[in-house]
């Protein structure tokens, strides 16, 4: 009878150890799940920030392209004016002709 009680006691101790291991694993899984939720949230925020940066970059690129076109137009008008003024003939300090140039 004593041996049977000892066997039962040993079996219960093994069950208790298994239960503790299961509780530890469950705690770890819960912790990992919480960390994954945090990582997913951070990843989502990161994605939103990257999208915002991409939008800013696209806007800056577009504005830079427009500024480049405007600069080229201004250069062309400046060269046109420069050519026109070089072609003027001065007669005793006065211009013979003065063609009009539109700056718009």
Q: Are 96 and 89 in contact (CB under 8 A)?
A: yes
Backbone dihedral region of 93: left (phi > 0), alpha (psi from -120 to 50 degrees) or beta? left
d(CA 41, CA 30): 17
Q: List own/partner pairs for 88-96 with CB under 8 A and 24 or more apart.
A: none
Task: Kindly give the parts of the chain with pLDDT less than 70.
Answer: 88-104
- With respect to residue 83, please indicate whether it lies within any of the assigned structural domains: no
- In a domain? residue 47: yes
Is 77 inside a domain boundary?
Answer: no
Number of structural domains in the chain? 1
Containing domain of residue 31, as a range? 2-69
Q: Does residue 93 fall inside a structural domain?
A: no
Beta-carbon count within 10 A of 54 CB: 10
Q: Which pLDDT score, from 0 to 100, does residue 103 have?
A: 53
Q: In whole numbers, what is the pLDDT of the chain averaged over residues? A: 87
Does residue 85 form part of some domain?
no
In a domain, 10, yes or no: yes
Q: Is the full-model pTM beyond 0.75?
A: no
In a domain, 80, yes or no: no
């Amino acid at each position: 009878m004593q041996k049977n009680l000892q066997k039962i006691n040993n079996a219960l101790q093994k069950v208790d150890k298994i239960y503790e291991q299961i509780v530890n694993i469950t705690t770890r899984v819960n912790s990992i799940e919480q960390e994954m939720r945090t990582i997913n949230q951070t990843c989502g925020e990161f994605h939103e920030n990257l999208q915002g940066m991409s939008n800013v970059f696209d806007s800056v690129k577009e504005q830079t392209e427009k500024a480049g076109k405007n600069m080229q137009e201004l250069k062309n008008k400046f060269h046109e004016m420069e050519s026109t003024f070089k072609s003027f003939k001065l007669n005793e300090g006065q211009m013979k002709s003065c063609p009009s140039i539109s700056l718009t």
